[in-house]
Amino acid sequence: MPYKVLVIEDQFLIAAAAEQAIADLGYEVVGAAASRSHALDYVGKADIALIDLNLLDGASGLDIARDFARTGTSVVIVTANPTAVPSETDVAIGVLTKPVDDMSLSRTLKYLVSRIEGRAIRCPRELHLLSGAPTSED
């Protein structure tokens, strides 16, 4: 059974490209959300959530990440401005810098799956781990 991935991104073309790449990699895309209210419909339904830092409705990706992290979802913040994410953030595993190419996405998803499964593999260079990140034992 493939892992379930959610994309939270307010730019339609970016979200559509990410969804297609995720599906092509063999994961199940459980949905895409462009706002906090829509994203909350998916809490508890995804193994992995890729969350844009700033959404057009004013929502913070970190606030949304908190909702998902509480249910055990592995969260990665995606942003063109990675320094805007405090390194001590404890609601996401890491930050992926936009634009994200398919290979970076593939390596990041493989890493997240390894964490979920309790296997240790090297973190891909594209994923900047956060010092406050939840551990795989959490």
What token pair was written down for 19?
């969804």
Burial of 78 (0-12, 13-18, 19+ CB in 10 A): buried
pLDDT at 21: 98
* Residue extents of the structural domains in the chain: 4-129
pLDDT at 96: 98
Integer Cα distance of 129 and 27 in angstroms: 22
Tens digit of each residue's pLDDT (9 = 90 or more) over 80-132: 999 999 999 999 999 999 999 999 999 999 999 999 999 979 999 999 999 88
Q: Which fold has domain 4-129?
A: Rossmann fold (3.40.50)
Tens digit of each residue's pLDDT (9 = 90 or more) over 28-57: 999 999 999 999 999 999 999 999 999 988
pLDDT at 114: 97
The closest of 17, 20, 48, 23 to 111, measured between CA atoms, is 48
Q: In terms of pLDDT, which residue wins out, 137 or 45? A: 45
Whether 24 has a pLDDT exceeding 50, the answer reads yes
